[in-house]
Structure 1
């Protein structure tokens, strides 16, 4: 069955590109009472334009961020809840044969083997409930506290698979009923005569998104390796921060790193370099800006500048966000592999990593 389906982006993420996963909007520390998942709005029905089988889900109080049919034919909806920071995405996919519960389990097992899940805690693949689910929590990334809860769920009916993903940062046990209420509202069914749209909370014009909201939406795409789609959101947040800073230092650093890496992953190396240069100008002793700039230079095949930036990065390793001298190993990064046969470069990174190892034991 798995070969019939388009694999989720999270399965294909390259570990070396996930340096900056802690760039998420820190939602207000609201309790579940503010979730406002009420019963005053009808369920949202997600389906293809020709109607037929679709997914009914209660998204009262949510705002649609993406609502489209992808070029590969999959139906996709992503929505966010402004008060709680909960993000929900739904993907519907048609397959040539009968969709099955076993097919759902195979898909969740693929996700479980991916790099994001294996870095998580409290990983639980549950096949005993009405809907099979995969849960995990990312507690910390590079020392920054995140507590991001992820729940993947899958449903199958006729020739349609429905993949559902819920995520929220600063998750606490008080948020569990919110997650359960969303999952309990999900049903695959034939659609109404007209697709019900999510109602706007007020008739007023929508408030422009903040840099934190843009950062959160961008990272939802970044996690799926959708770098080109994430760039406009990151770039808008970047411009807002230049005009009126709102993010704390950890999140701002994450914005710079994620924007620069996204530019690099899409081949815009000059823009990646300009982004990291901006970060270094504002925060010259933060090592990851220098490290990621070295990656950009390496992709440009600029050996001398890559070595200079790596040396500076390790010189400032004590200034990691975690406060510990923990640095990525350049020898394990694909960007630097082109230089590993160069004796000068290899000796440099061996010396830098040896210094790192010695410091870590002190």
Structure 2
């Protein structure tokens, strides 16, 4: 499980040390009741109401983060997992959210919290973090870690950290809120963020959501997951029609490659032929099909579909350049092949 503690130093304002002892800290513990809600809304991109889910899930985590700015949105390159972080400058508050598969084979929110705490203690040691107060407890289906960081590498930071752990349907959910330069009066703002946490169920994904996720996994080289998710996007778009023409063509082109890279060559050919039937004048369907035949060691078909692609290269989407097969890694195996070189030269 990814450890979400940020221990941010760049945003810290160093000031006179203030310590909150455990007995005092317990007075300000924030207890959350996780609320179930039925969602009829689609994918929310804005942070005012942030929904975080994964392609295979029929539920989502929702939080209200008005005034927050998205800092990062990453996927796990090996498993199905998403991590989002946001920052509110006026509140000097960070929020990190993560959902991922149960790769550690845990069985409860408490086990998830305890596993994370072991990693956190190692991180405290590495960063020379002084932790004068920490409380760990459970409430409902959630487990919590609430701790104070007074200094990092000898620099005073006065940082309150509250981490919520939820183990649900064999997935691990983590929400961490970090308040820099913490004062007791900051509890109200912490409560606003934490009390807004909800599980939305059932949750219906839309094609655009799967499209964005599939792009992330494709760009990170997890072609098996990319193929699975982009196929879901294509299937869903047949129902909701949310993707633009350019998005749909990108989706089909790269779904074909994702199948090819994950050695599902039959599906790759079928997908790209579907693209050709959708628009026989779009060059990248032919170009990527040439790439798939290169993966299958079929030089004749590779050259044939490259020829077709060159026929329609003027139809590339605006702002995109037609690729050069002499420099494209898809065709590296043929770069020194005379027949391939002659064909490309003639094209």
Q: TM-score, normalised by structure 1?
A: 0.46
TM-score, normalised by the number of residues in structure 2? 0.48
